Chains A and B, each alone.
Chain A
Amino acid sequence: MASHGVPRVAETAPRTEAQRLEEERQIREYRDLEDLIATKIAERQYTIEVLELTSKLLKKNPEYYTIWNVRRRLLIYGLFSKPSGLSSHSTASPNTSTTDTTKASSGISSSSTTTSSEASTTSPQNPASPNHGKNGTTLDLIKAELEFLFPIMMKYPKCYWLWNYRIWLLQEANERLEPEIARQLWNRELILVGKMLVKDSRNFHGWGYRRKVVSEVESQKLGGHSIVESEFEYTTKMIHGDKGLSNFSAWHRRSKLIPRLLDERKASDEARRQFLDDEFELIISAMYTDSYPYQQSAWFYYQFLMTTLTDYVGHGTIIPHFTLEDRAEYVSRQLVILRDMLDGAEDCKWIYNALIEYTMALCRMEERVPESDEKQECETWLAELRKLDPDRSGRWDDLERALRNP
């Protein structure tokens, strides 16, 4: 109903009678399956068999959010609470979802199979252990669910309900399992989301999921510790990867990690200054490479760095103890670099835009009106912007007005 990038190459020819009958059969099969699940749920049959039925339906239609909710209820009102020795898991027939999906899983974690079979084999010997019930059966179920989801997520990486369901499962693990075991599950997710982001380095579900996973891996209640250094490294790796410089998602993530990274490093003022210099160096050398002065992702990251100088907010920035003079000096230095950059890139609108913006910002910082030569230069740059980027002429009109009345 909201299709993206699906070309329709030819007129739809009328269906043949055979095709019509086939589609009718598929509809009947699908709706029968829906009805069967509804009946079983109305009878409160919270069993592995019904879980299997929902698997079948969700493979046909992963967007069917109500069925994901049915699955949640099956787990929390039925399957999770089964005592370990009598777990529906070990009494179920060999083709339960666990066996199925473990085989089918493309092996994001080869260790999971071993762990879960260990748990199953030890469980009968230890039927009375309450701890085992807590970590054993429930852990097996959660792992099986995660494995079941993986191939569907690879196929439908933009389906909200899948990501939600996955997060929900892991939150259940937090509630129901030992913190150490729950944290191991979250750690594996970090590997999984890394794979998803290799497949599509801009998937915002993936980046959002990564954020959540990291905060769980780091959480004290699971006995975790900060991984801000390795996360920062990860963004460096992404930026240097294929098409990485235009990966705004990675630049964005980097911008969010930096304040915490420096805090945790207990970075001195000198170290912070050096850090800022290095980041400017990184982005500017990136702009000199290939066609990057024309790519907006790099310019937005440049905006982030400049914002730390121009829109001073105190804490939570790279250089909290920079004086006004320090900041003004840095902005002036950047204005020189930007002018140099124009050489050979006279048709790059981003440079003119930055020159005007930061010239005006410098005046605001120094609480003065622009000098007449600054004003004149801004007008020249603005004329270039109008020429290079006529689509945004309304923006340039407003900018001109702002230049006249600073």
Chain B
Amino acid sequence: MSLVSGPGRAGGNALPEELQLAIEPHVKYIQSLDTRKDELEYWLTEHLRLNGLYWGLNALHLLNRPDALHRKETIDFVLSCQADNGGFGAAPGHDAHLLYTASAVQILAMVDGFGELEKRGKAGGAMAVGKYIAALQNRKTGTFAGDEWGEEDTRFICCAFVGLSLLKLLQFVDVEKAVDYIISCANFDGGYGVAPGAESHSGQIFACCAALTIARRLDTVEKDKLGMWLSERQVEGGGLNGRPEKLEDVCYSWWVSSSLSMIGRLHWIDGGKLSRFILNCQDTEHGGLADRPGDMVDVFHTNFGLAGLALLEFDGLEEVDAAYCMPKKVIERVLGPGYYNDS
């Protein structure tokens, strides 16, 4: 049960006038990813396996095909990635890291698998996972390390909050201190970087906005400044870049537009143009999306491209939650039907 990149080409010039979402090819593409064990690339990307499963499964959920991957195999694989310390690695035998632990929790949430975690996970079930995550918080500064080796990055605050909140264990950590740390990463342009002093970057902005959304502290964001900076990520062709003067890329259609959505400024960019850019990145024949039209597709860009379209309420896709990058349906099932009313 594992997904990797595979061959396929995003369309460039051969696209029909009316851009269609190639739902069936995308489903087939994602399903095919686990059948490539005779390709070296499959083994060289093992360090991304659990992320890959989250990307593929989320894409399938957004495509309204949540059952396209086998549920029991999915849960078996996730649990096989759990390390003795309660965290999850990228694949069986790989070291635990917050990046994969968040993906594991997201996958289990999507397949309603928390019960299996209690039954078959490492002793303690959800509590063990929560303790693993909580131990990575720097109690002095509030930020999180990715693993025992200590690299700190605002992305890991996001991973920790996503994992803990879905497990309803956010009380395990000092949320206020983490929020203060995020505030200390804010720049004059309203954006956030990896750490205090670091340049604003759309990926980090997404991570900080998502963490602040989960902590219900978006009041700390300078929304007009950030919204201005984010809206200037849209380039002539409709796509979005990650920083000033960089190339557009489908994954940024997610990091940027979800951040705009979280701060209530998604209407500050041209959604129609962005949709067309994303659709142009499809391989309509073999399925999957690429970073840019004409490039090689992969499951990472497939997920974030579809999530971008879902955020723009593209016809035929499930509604997506901007902070969790998961179907709203799943978030409501896990966090309660009132979740979107109280926020």
Chain A 206-228 residues near chain B, CB threshold 8 A: 207-208, 211
Contact status B40-A248, CB under 8 Å: no
Q: Decide yes or no whether B67 CB sits under 8 A from chain A.
A: no
* Residues of chain A within 8 A of B294, CB atoms compared: 7-8
In this complex, what residue of A is CB-closest to B97?
A: A65
Q: Once bound together, how far apart are the Cα atoms of A6 and B41, in whole Å?
A: 14
Contact status A208-B40, CB under 8 Å: no
Chain B 40-78 residues near chain A, CB threshold 8 A: 40, 43-48, 51-52
Contact status B4-A256, CB under 8 Å: no
Q: Once bound together, how far apart are the Cα atoms of A248 and B193, in whole Å?
A: 13
Q: Once bound together, how far apart are the Cα atoms of A160 and B249, in whole Å?
A: 19
Interface residues in B, total, Cβ within 8 A? 69
Q: Which of B97, B194, B199 contacts A253 (CB 8 A)?
A: B199
Q: Decide yes or no whether A4 CB sits under 8 A from chain B.
A: yes
Given contacts A30-B40, A66-B94, A392-B234, contact A72 B270 (CB under 8 A): no
Q: Decide yes or no whether B333 CB sits under 8 A from chain A.
A: no
Q: Which of B200, B243, B244, B296 contacts A3 (CB 8 A)?
A: B296
Main secondary structure of the interface of A (DSSP, over half): helix
Interface residues in A, total, Cβ within 8 A? 58
Contact status B9-A1, CB under 8 Å: no
Given contacts A72-B149, A208-B194, A208-B198, contact A304 B188 (CB under 8 A): yes
Q: Which of A8, A20, A27, A247 contacts B296 (CB 8 A)?
A: A8
Chain B 292-340 residues near chain A, CB threshold 8 A: 292, 294-296, 298-301
Q: Decide yes or no whether B268 CB sits under 8 A from chain A.
A: yes
Q: Once bound together, how far apart are the Cα atoms of A297 and B43, in whole Å?
A: 41
* Residues of chain A within 8 A of B5, CB atoms compared: 1-3
* Residues of chain A within 8 A of B4, CB atoms compared: 1
Contact status A249-B199, CB under 8 Å: yes
Q: Once bound together, how far apart are the Cα atoms of A247 and B259, in whole Å?
A: 24
Q: Decide yes or no whether A24 CB sits under 8 A from chain B.
A: yes
In this complex, what residue of A is CB-closest to B304?
A: A2
Q: How far is the CB of B1 from chain A (nearest CB, A)?
A: 15
Q: Once bound together, how far apart are the Cα atoms of A168 and B149, in whole Å?
A: 8
Q: Once bound together, how far apart are the Cα atoms of A64 and B95, in whole Å?
A: 10
Q: Once bound together, how far apart are the Cα atoms of A398 and B265, in whole Å?
A: 10
Contact status A202-B270, CB under 8 Å: no
Q: Once bound together, how far apart are the Cα atoms of A380 and B199, in whole Å?
A: 34
Q: Which of B228, B268, B291, B299 contacts A4 (CB 8 A)?
A: B291
Main secondary structure of the interface of B (DSSP, over half): loop
Contact status B228-A395, CB under 8 Å: yes
Contact status A391-B188, CB under 8 Å: no
Q: Decide yes or no whether B174 CB sits under 8 A from chain A.
A: no
Q: Decide yes or no whether A31 CB sits under 8 A from chain B.
A: yes
Q: Which of A2, A8, A296 contacts B244 (CB 8 A)?
A: A296
Q: How far is the CB of B299 from chain A (nearest CB, A)?
A: 6
Q: Once bound together, how far apart are the Cα atoms of A8 and B93, in whole Å?
A: 33
Q: Decide yes or no whether B150 CB sits under 8 A from chain A.
A: yes
Contact status A296-B296, CB under 8 Å: no
Contact status B8-A8, CB under 8 Å: yes
* Residues of chain B within 8 A of A160, CB atoms compared: 151
Residues of A within 8 A of B (CB): 1-8, 11-12, 20, 23-24, 26-27, 30-31, 38, 60-61, 63-66, 69, 72, 160, 164, 167-168, 202, 204, 207-208, 211, 246-249, 252-253, 255-256, 295-297, 300, 303-304, 307, 390-395, 397-398
- Some 26 contacts from A to B, beta carbons below 8 A apart, are A1-B4, A2-B300, A3-B295, A3-B296, A24-B38, A30-B43, A63-B45, A64-B46, A65-B90, A66-B47, A66-B94, A66-B95, A202-B243, A202-B246, A207-B198, A208-B198, A211-B197, A248-B199, A248-B243, A296-B245, A300-B244, A304-B188, A393-B270, A395-B228, A398-B265, A398-B268
Known pairs A1-B299, A65-B47. 16 more at Cβ < 8 A? A1-B51, A2-B48, A2-B301, A8-B9, A23-B39, A24-B38, A26-B40, A60-B44, A66-B93, A66-B95, A204-B194, A248-B244, A295-B245, A303-B189, A390-B270, A394-B269
Residues of B within 8 A of A (CB): 3-5, 7-10, 38-40, 43-48, 51-52, 89-90, 93-95, 97, 147, 149-151, 187-189, 193-195, 197-201, 227-229, 231-232, 234, 238, 243-247, 249, 251, 265, 267-270, 273, 290-292, 294-296, 298-301
